[in-house]
């Protein structure tokens, strides 16, 4: 009754040290019995021995390359992600040798100005962690204050727990996390949500990864008033603002995705546009670029629309002309 | 004993097997989640077979990806009701099915005294039968106390 007649794979996953020593023992026995050398099958049964093996098994390199290719700039963020990936790979190798591999705390905090790619990187992070086998499912549950904090007494705890349960096995991404704590209202239910969050972050480290995101200055005040939260987050990543060349690169990628391209002189015009726009208030990096391009597409559409009789070629339909960008309000106000 | 040979209530799936371990429960739950079922946790201290609707612990759990979330709720329920019957139920929302498709007991009281068969003598030598749990002579919440 105590020992079942079938094996449970998850039981082996829960205690990685035990099966490793077990295979070592059986391996030793087979070596003694047959006097055979280490065959390839034995090596597989023992788990990976080199970084290359882990990488080829997990295909994490493909995600990392994609990250490098698709995300412009963000050098400090990328290097930290590489570090984390390296640590997880080495932990796998240690596990294969039966060495103690303590599961690292991977809760993260992304700070940075609007439009610097915090959400995009969070989505990629889930993919990478899933490929490395750190999270089991690799889905992202993206929430804000409204999804966690209730409206009356006794509403918050079930709400927060429900979100946490949905995020199990994946990544919980809390956008604008500083809203959780409202110091001006001492009876605010946000504190309750934070406490439940902290408890799960500590106790169920293997089951989910929490990523907080928000603007740098507000997150600093948030962490000052919640020191427990700050100390439980191992990785504080700061997303730098993009420079004009990077923004241009991003804009070309965005246009390419929707099947447009810059016409003659339009790229230079857009560069000037970005320089002027950056100096203005409420500049939101990649998001502003997206909005500017959307408006340029609108202007292109009405420019083509005005000429009713002409037949347009595919090239003309997909070209953003210099005039479409020069018509922007940013140029008008400067002139 | 004739009426309670195993000393265990048998309801739902796996109830003739030894109690499932947490790892086994986890696998069953994950199987259900992979099929798209929504799990819920229910508890009761009235083991009567006609007691169909147990009390629900927390909300039904829709849109879960991983069994760890269900285990979290089960753990909370076990903490609150360590000596109650607790079962997990999986609801299949597929149109045309829309009913509970899995249900098994994951927690039971340490001692289950079984059922009494009561005979009520009616007119003309008719007999009516009914069953009553030995555990339910005490009020709700105080059964299986020790």
Whether B80 contacts chain A with CB within 8 A: no
Which chain A residues in 144-163 lie under 8 Å from chain B, judged by CB atoms? 158, 161-162
Residue B73 predicted with pLDDT over 80: yes
Question: pLDDT band at B79, cuts 50/70/90?
Answer: very high
B contacts of A10 (beta carbons < 8 Å): 23, 26-27
**Tens of pLDDT, residues A59-93:** 777 877 887 887 888 888 888 888 888 888 888 88
Q: How far is A52 from chain B (nearest CA, A)?
A: 29
Give chain A's mean pLDDT.
Answer: 82
Whether B7 contacts chain A with CB within 8 A: no
**Tens of pLDDT, residues A97-122:** 888 777 788 899 999 988 888 888 88
**Tens of pLDDT, residues A171-187:** 999 998 999 888 788 78
Nearest chain A residue to B74 by CA: give it.
A165
Whether B142 contacts chain A with CB within 8 A: no
d(CA A225, CA A177): 13
Which of A14, A158, A170 minimises the CB distance to B59?
A: A158
**Tens of pLDDT, residues A11-47:** 544 444 444 444 444 444 444 444 333 344 444 446 7
Which of B23, B24, B72 minimises the CB distance to A165?
A: B72
Which of A1, A158, A161 minimises the CB distance to B18?
A: A1
A contacts of B18 (beta carbons < 8 Å): 1, 4
Which chain B residues in 35-54 lie under 8 Å from chain A, judged by CB atoms? none
Q: What was the ipTM of the complex prediction? A: 0.82
């Amino acid at each position: 009754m105590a020992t079942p007649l079938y094996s449970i794979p998850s039981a082996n996953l829960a205690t990685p040290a035990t099966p490793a020593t077990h295979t070592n023992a059986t391996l030793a026995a087979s070596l003694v019995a047959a006097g055979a050398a280490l065959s390839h099958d034995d090596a597989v049964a023992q788990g990976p021995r080199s970084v290359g093996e882990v990488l080829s098994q997990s295909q994490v390199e493909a995600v990392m390359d994609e990250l490098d290719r698709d995300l412009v700039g963000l050098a400090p963020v990328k290097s930290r992600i590489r570090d984390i990936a390296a640590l997880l790979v080495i932990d796998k190798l240690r596990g294969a040798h039966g060495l103690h591999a303590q599961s690292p705390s991977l809760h993260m905090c992304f700070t940075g100005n609007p439009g610097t790619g915090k959400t995009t990187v969070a989505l990629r992070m889930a993919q990478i962690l899933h490929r490395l086998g750190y999270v089991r499912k690799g889905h992202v549950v993206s929430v804000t204050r409204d999804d966690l904090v209730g409206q009356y007494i006794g509403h918050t705890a079930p709400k927060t727990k429900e979100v946490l349960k949905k995020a199990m096995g994946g990544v919980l991404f809390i956008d604008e996390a500083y809203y959780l704590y409202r110091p001006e209202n001492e009876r605010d239910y946000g504190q309750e949500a934070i406490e439940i969050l902290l408890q799960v972050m500590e106790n169920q480290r293997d089951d989910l990864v929490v990523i907080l995101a928000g603007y740098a200055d507000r997150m600093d005040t948030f962490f000052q008033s919640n020191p427990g939260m700050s100390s439980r987050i191992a990785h504080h990543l700061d997303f730098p603002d993009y420079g004009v060349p990077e923004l241009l690169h991003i804009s070309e990628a965005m246009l390419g995705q929707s099947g447009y391209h810059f016409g003659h002189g339009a790229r230079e015009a857009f560069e000037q546009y970005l320089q002027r726009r950056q100096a203005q208030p409420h500049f939101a990096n990649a998001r502003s670029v997206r909005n500017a391009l959307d408006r340029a597409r609108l202007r292109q559409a009405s420019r083509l629309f005005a000429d009713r009789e002409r037949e347009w070629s595919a090239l003309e339909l997909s070209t953003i002309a210099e005039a479409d960008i020069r018509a922007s309000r940013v140029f008008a106000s400067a002139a | 004993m004739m009426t309670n040979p195993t000393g265990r209530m048998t309801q739902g799936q796996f109830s003739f097997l030894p109690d499932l371990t947490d790892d086994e429960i986890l696998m069953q739950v994950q199987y259900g989640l992979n099929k798209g079922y929504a799990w819920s946790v229910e508890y009761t201290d009235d083991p009567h077979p006609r007691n169909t609707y147990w009390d629900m612990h927390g909300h039904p759990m829709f849109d879960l990806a991983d069994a760890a979330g269900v285990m979290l709720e089960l753990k909370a329920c076990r903490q609150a009701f360590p000596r109650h019957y607790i079962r997990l139920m999986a609801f299949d929302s597929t149109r045309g099915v829309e009913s509970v498709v899995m249900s098994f007991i994951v927690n039971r009281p340490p001692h289950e005294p079984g059922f009494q068969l009561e005979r009520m003598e009616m007119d003309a030598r008719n007999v009516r039968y009914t069953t009553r749990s030995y555990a339910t002579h005490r009020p709700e919440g105080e059964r299986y106390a020790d």
